Amino acid sequence: VLFVLIRYGEGHWAYAVTGKLMYSAIIVNLIYAWGIFLSGIRTHPGGAFSGRRRRQMQEGSLSLILAGLSVTAAADLFLVLLDRSWVTGVFLFCIVQTIYAFCLQKTWKNALVRLIVFVCVLAGFYAAGILDLNYGLSAYSISMLCVNAVSACICVRRQPDRGKCAMLLFAAGLLLFVGCDLSLGLRNLTWSAEAFAGLHKVSGSLVWIFYLPSQVLITLAWRMRKHRG
């Protein structure tokens, strides 16, 4: 329902209204994720996970996904609801992608790939003459996100059947997240270029078509991993 209202509001209402709807959708998603977590705590004696389940919550990637969703909501507070302090918001998204990186492959080879992609994106921004603090943070965020998405797709094949579906949802969520970031980047790059006015409009309309489903899929992945963990 919120998604439909957001799509309608983008063409008919002021951003002060649609921005609140957008952030409400993120908060509803986060509340659902936390509800799953808290319901799991209540169903165990003593108000805490016990034995094997508690070790999984502490040592596995489940709590990391919940942390990523929580920091995402904090980032959107600045980028969506308040629509200011972009550097702070992008910095928080850097933390989100770092958190998700720890949910995936943790090898030196993977870390080297991340470094190479980050340097290449930085070099591209520098060559385009747009490198500043905001774009530097964006370079880190998008490079980490892209490698996270690829790593998640690789992990789908390596997962046992029991966890394959959850990882597939997580990978799909990250791929949609990439689509959101690329659409946002195109919108920003074509902001003042009249020749690309059509591209600017299309890319702007795609941001939330990618973004909100990406967050829902990541939350569903968290839910599935928790109940099957």
pLDDT at residue 226 above 90?
Answer: no
Please report where in the chains the tokens 């319901």 appear, as a residue.
39
Closest CA to 201 of 3, 18, 20, 11: 11
Give percent of the chain with pLDDT exceeding 70.
Answer: 85
Is the full-model pTM beyond 0.85? yes
The whole-number pLDDT of residue 36 equals 86
The whole-number pLDDT of residue 42 equals 54
Q: How does residue 27 score in pLDDT terms, banded at 50, 70 and 90?
A: very high
pLDDT at residue 105 above 80?
Answer: no
User: 50 exposed, middle or buried (CB, 10 Å; 0-12, 13-18, 19+)?
Assistant: exposed
pLDDT at residue 195 above 80?
Answer: no
The whole-number pLDDT of residue 95 equals 97
The mean pLDDT of 31-40, rounded to a whole number, is: 88
